Amino acid sequence: MDFRYFMALWRFDQGRLDYFQFDEIKRLALALEKINGIQKPAVDNDILRQALLQYSPRPFAPANYTVWRNYKRVFGCLLLATEVAGKIMCTDLCKALASDSKEIDIDDYMGHFATHFYYPSPVFDGYNTKDTQIFPVVAIVKFLLSGYLEKGKTNLTVDEIGSYLIVNEVTGLEPLSFYSTLKPQSFQGDLRQTRELTRFISQFSFLKWNNPNLYLEVTNNMEAFQIEKLLAPQLNSRQSDAGAEVLNLGSHFQSTALGDLTISQVNVIDTEFTEGSKIRVTHLRTERSAKLKEFYFSNFSNPHICDMCFMDTERRYPWADRIIELHHLLPLSSPIRVDAGKTSIKDIVGICPSCHRATHKFYSKWLKQSGLKDFKDYDEARFVYDKAKQEIILT
């Protein structure tokens, strides 16, 4: 295969990463499901834009073009919707997210994406049913798992994706043992779109992005092998029509066990808050992320002071380092975006272990009294956190 052609295969929708965050994906699904089956709208009556205005804060610029014209590739990459015979058609995955978004966590969605999204993609030009299918997400995760199992290495750069995976024409279909045999090759090429794809998949609860590294966070070999088993590429008959194939890729959605991997690690302190919820297990996993904690202590002023009770843990416990724990406000379903130079970490606060435990209990009590399973949005979660903070009795 021609090298330049192969490089072009690892594509994504560069520059629109905000539209690829899981909570935004769920909002897109709600809007798309509402207009499922309609003819492509005209600029003067863009009912897709009207539907999106009800759910999403994103601009979908420019306003003088239809949303579908400018964002069709976004919806296709996300396996949410496509065009068939001039009509906008939603996938089963989109419908599931729209109807049951509270029960579908990030690992459910990303697990489906990883095992179905392949190159050459029907979303981009050059799609055909004859080329070998390349599952880039599976290949990346397998390479990380192999490094962890063989060498204890838990990180991977985008450049390494190029020199180990892309150049060696890795497909993601190879056995895990194959990845430890890969040798790097020098190359020059534009990996910006691959970087976007890498940042997108870092939303898996067991992955973290901290530029320029993608980190794997597993606790033991058994968990690594479970992830590998659950991310088996789905090889199905391909449709010659690109739109029909996108529908095919978004079909037969089922929740996965990926979000359940750490349930056994939920201790007694967390039981009341989690109540078996996969989304809350993802929440707890994010709070315990070693890489996120490293980022927090390296970039925040006075990171050793509890945001709840204002205790200076460094002064109180001079023999202990980094007592502060990270509390994840909301969204419970999405990890924090950590990227040098452009960081969104508003959902995280540092609090001492006692306040952390008490906050989870407060959350659980408030949700039960309100008859809710989870907070409806960030503002509500922030309100409840602040309410707990106000009710602390400081002596």
| Domain around 153 | 136-249
pLDDT value, residue 277 = 64
pLDDT value, residue 111 = 95
pLDDT value, residue 387 = 95
Quote the number of domains for the chain.
3
Quick one: what percent of the chain has pLDDT higher than 90? 61
From 192, 197, 191, 189, select the one nearest 141 (Cα to Cα). 197
Q: Give dist(CA 130, CA 63) in Å, integer.
A: 39
CA pseudo-torsion sign 23, 24, 26, 30: positive
CA pseudo-torsion sign 311, 315, 319, 324: positive
For the chain, helix, strand, coil in percent to 5 are 50, 10, 40
Q: Give dist(CA 177, CA 192) in Å, integer.
A: 28
pLDDT range class, residue 258, cuts 50, 70, 90: confident
pLDDT range class, residue 275, cuts 50, 70, 90: low
Contact 208, 217 (CB under 8 A): yes
Contact 222, 149 (CB under 8 A): no
Shared-domain flag, residues 245 and 140? yes
Last residue within a domain, chosen from 249, 280, 306: 249
List pLDDT tens digits, range 292-322: 888 888 888 899 999 999 999 999 999 988 9
pLDDT value, residue 226 = 92
Shared-domain flag, residues 231 and 296? no
3-state secondary structure of 243: helix
CATH number at residue 13: 1.10.10
Triad 64, 70, 76: Cα angle to 5°: 155
Average pLDDT over residues 171-175: 97
List pLDDT tens digits, range 240-254: 999 999 999 999 998
Average pLDDT over residues 227-249: 96
This prediction has a pTM of 0.85
Does the structure show a pLDDT above 70 at 260?
no
Does the structure show a pLDDT above 70 at 283?
no
Flag whether 107 is in a domain: no
Shared-domain flag, residues 183 and 73? no
Question: What count of residues does the chain have?
Answer: 395
Shared-domain flag, residues 339 and 228? no
Amino acid at 27: R
Shared-domain flag, residues 160 and 218? yes
Contacts of 50 (CB under 8 A, 6+ apart): none
List pLDDT tens digits, range 47-73: 999 999 999 999 999 999 999 999 999
Does the structure show a pLDDT above 90 at 176?
yes
Shared-domain flag, residues 91 and 211? no
Look up residue 194 and give its two tokens. 């691959």
Last residue within a domain, chosen from 249, 283, 313: 249
Shared-domain flag, residues 233 and 271? no
Flag whether 115 is in a domain: no
Write out the DSSP string of 11-79: ---TT-GGGGSHHHHHHHHHHHHHTTTPBPPPGGG-HHHHHHHHH-----S-TTS-HHHHHHHHHHHTT
Look up residue 365 and give its two tokens. 């009590």
pLDDT range class, residue 190, cuts 50, 70, 90: confident
Quick one: what percent of the chain has pLDDT higher than 70? 86
Average pLDDT over residues 24-32: 95
pLDDT range class, residue 3, cuts 50, 70, 90: very low
List pLDDT tens digits, range 330-345: 766 566 666 655 556 6
In this predicted structure, which of 79-88, 93-102, 112-121, 228-237 has the lowest mean pLDDT? Answer: 93-102
Shared-domain flag, residues 239 and 332? no
Shared-domain flag, residues 233 and 278? no
pLDDT value, residue 189 = 79
Average pLDDT over residues 250-263: 74
Flag whether 59 is in a domain: yes
Look up residue 88 and give its two tokens. 């906008």
pLDDT value, residue 268 = 45
- Cα separation values, 246 from 45, 88, 189, 299, Å: 26, 12, 28, 41
